[in-house]
Structure 1
Amino acid sequence: MALRHRGLARGLRFLATRNDLIASLQPELAAFKVFPLLNSYLEKGPSSALLTPHFRNSNFYSTAITLEDQTLAENAFHKLADSTLDNFYDVIEQYLDSIDLDNDDQDIEYSQGVLTVQLGGTLGTYVINKQTPNRQIWMSSPVSGPIRYDFYKGNWIYSRDGHKLHERLESELEQLTGVAINLNPCSSCEKMNACVDGNYCQQ
């Protein structure tokens, strides 16, 4: 019984010493806001600091959206991806012919599932291609870099933020050339026969 009391007394002395130390350091540590975990520990105790780390409330995590698993059959994927790239080729070819970029090296080429749009000069080159194993369309952009798009609810969508492929391409081409372009999925319905209410469909 005496040993138990001595152990309890030592524990109480340790806690008292710890609390005195923390109290003495509070004025100095209060200024160091760059240590949020330490501040939380001092103010609320160790459990709260460990359970609610500072970075959970920061912008560390992306705003990715969760796409439902809607894996396309390979033939359906090819139909949709080919329709998309065919449409892009037709519309962008006419677009480049209609605007004056004063670049002799501008060109557009579509072959074996790869669409290359060379704007010429310092404007850069787009490469947009099918990725059959992933059921995705990949775009390499001189503005935003590489982006991968999944087919979801009638459109090619970037899962990180939910933007649509054709809208991103429209925005960037206008940004680079100063001339607007319409790449709406229905802009060549007669050829695609795969468009409903402005979206691609799987029929």
Structure 2
Amino acid sequence: MPDAENPKPKELDSQDTPSKATELSIEEFHERADHYLGELLQRLEEAQENDPAIEVDYSAGVLEVTLQQNTFVLNKQPPNKQIWYSSPISGPKRFDWVVSQEGMSEKEGCGIGDWVYLRDGSSLTEIIRKELGVDVSVDDEVPR
């Protein structure tokens, strides 16, 4: 049981924070990023049906969400193979695809993965859940 009502978050040690992105071809990057952004767009549109104060706009590969007078922007950056996220809450971050658990029988790049900010190990999925209130399931099974 924690000593305080609001315990200090666990500090990441170097073993918990990924040090590099998983190698992806440009095609794999587009598949994973498009799948993730598509799932996020679907969840946001579902949330928008229940709360008309949420504004969602997806155009030219840029997803813009306005929530409680705050604007959040997500977009793919193919040259870097990253998803960039700009938030008035957490600031700008650049997320790389990182596989956290690879099975010995699986090929490289497969396994359980997520979009991760390599500087602090934060997950885009967790940040989206906290800041936008939607849950995007992390699923490495991208349709081919």
Tell whether the structures are fold-level matches, with TM greater than 0.5. yes
Deviation per CA, 1:1-41, whole angstroms, max 9, x where unpaired?
xxxxxxxxxxxxxxxxxxxxxxxxxxxxxxxxxxxxxxxxx
**Partners of 2:129 and 2:84 in 1: CA distance:** 16
For normalisation by structure 2, the TM-score amounts to 0.71
1:184 to 120, 137, 142: 137
Whether 1:112 and 2:64 are equivalent positions in the alignment is: no
Task: Check whether the contact 1:63–1:160 (CA below 8 A) recurs between aligned residues.
Answer: no
**Partners of 1:69 and 1:84 in 2: CA distance:** 16
Give unmatched runs, 5+ long, in structure 2. 1-11, 100-112
Corresponding residue for residue 94 of structure 1: 46
2:89 to 143, 162, 179: 143
**Partners of 1:117 and 1:159 in 2: CA distance:** 24
Partner of 1:169, secondary structure, is helix
Shift of 1:202: 9.0
The number of residue pairs the alignment matches comes to: 118
Corresponding residue for residue 171 of structure 1: 130
**Runs of 4+ in structure 1 displaced over 4 angstroms?**
none
**Partners of 1:70 and 1:182 in 2: CA distance:** 23
Higher strand share: 2
**Partners of 2:20 and 2:86 in 1: CA distance:** 25
Percentage of pairs with the same residue? 36
Whether 1:67 and 2:13 are equivalent positions in the alignment is: no
Task: Check whether the contact 2:18–2:121 (CA below 8 A) recurs between aligned residues.
Answer: no
Shift of 1:69: 5.2
Deviation per CA, 1:96-132, whole angstroms, max 9, x where unpaired?
22136xx4xx42111222111122x53x111000000
Task: Check whether the contact 2:65–2:73 (CA below 8 A) recurs between aligned residues.
Answer: yes
Q: Which has the higher contact order (CA 8 A, sep 6+)?
A: 2
1:85 to 37, 45, 56: 37
Whether 1:157 and 2:116 are equivalent positions in the alignment is: yes
Task: Check whether the contact 1:80–1:202 (CA below 8 A) recurs between aligned residues.
Answer: no
The CA RMSD over aligned residues, in Å, is 2.4
